[in-house]
A = this chain, B = another copy of it.
Amino acid sequence: MKLLVVEDELKTLQAIQQGLEESQFEVDVAYDGLIAKRLALKNNYAAIITDLILPGLNGYELCRQLRAEGLATPILMLTALSESSDKVIGFDAGADQYMTKPFQFAELLARVRSLTKRGTQVAMTAQTLRYGGVELNLDTKTVMRDGQPIDLTAREFALLEFLMRNQGRVLSKPTIAEHVWDINFDTGTNVVEVYINYLRKKLDRDFPKKLIHTQFGMGYTFKEE
């Protein structure tokens, strides 16, 4: 687990680095806000620990700019005692935790552990496929057509996903069977036909514009008009 520590005071920096490394973290360091920003955007750190007062770019600005770049990495902000009114600013900038110096190292460690636990989150990308008024959300496994929810089973969903990913293309039944069912189309099965039928009932039946088209003797196409 890799961390970035940003601090311009060498003694403090080394103390933190050493302590974290002893606790099995990999630690990158930066003395300067601008360098820190570059590192933070390049590497995928589990958390960033930064001082507020820094050369180049202060902790507040660093934090704000990283968030502006869409970085979700947890940030722990350190500040000296006489800066407590900056606390509010720190949170507004997007810091996740705030800690006043001086502090016990054990406390820092506890907080870093708590922050890095958030890594249990699955990839944040909200993947949705859109075409012809149909919206297929891969995270929530939901399907909407013209704003109306459509309830699909797991297999139906997989089939629709495959059709939408190959939107406009003619897909033969063996191809579909292979991708959606992981079967060789040897066995004279008609599952594909059956499931196309299920999908049509749910997705096309109540709408004037059909999206699933039969290409006689060739396969099926997902397209408008």
A interface residue numbers (CB < 8 A to B): 81-82, 84-85, 87-88, 96-100, 102-104, 106-107, 110-111, 114, 117-118, 120-123, 125, 127, 138-141, 153-155, 157, 161-162, 165-166, 168-171, 175, 179-180, 215-219, 221
The 17 sampled A-B contact pairs (Cβ below 8 Å) are A85-B106, A85-B110, A87-B110, A87-B123, A97-B127, A98-B123, A103-B121, A107-B122, A114-B127, A114-B139, A120-B179, A122-B175, A122-B179, A139-B170, A140-B169, A155-B217, A157-B218
CB distance from A169 to the nearest CB of B (A): 5
Q: A98-B81, A99-B122 are in contact. Are A141 and B170 (CB under 8 A)?
A: yes
The 8 closest A-B pairs by CB, nearest first: A154-B217, A141-B170, A139-B169, A85-B107, A121-B165, A84-B111, A154-B218, A141-B218
Q: Which residues of B contact A157 (CB under 8 A)?
A: 218
Q: Which residues of B contact A139 (CB under 8 A)?
A: 114, 168-170
In whole angstroms, what is the CA distance A179 to B155 when docked? 25
A98 close to B111 (CB less than 8 A) = no
Q: Which residues of B contact A140 (CB under 8 A)?
A: 168-170, 221
A98 close to B82 (CB less than 8 A) = yes
A125 close to B98 (CB less than 8 A) = yes
B81 close to A100 (CB less than 8 A) = no
In whole angstroms, what is the CA distance A180 to B122 when docked? 12
B166 close to A122 (CB less than 8 A) = yes
A217 close to B107 (CB less than 8 A) = no
- Among A81, A96, A217, A219, max chain B CB count under 10 A is at A81
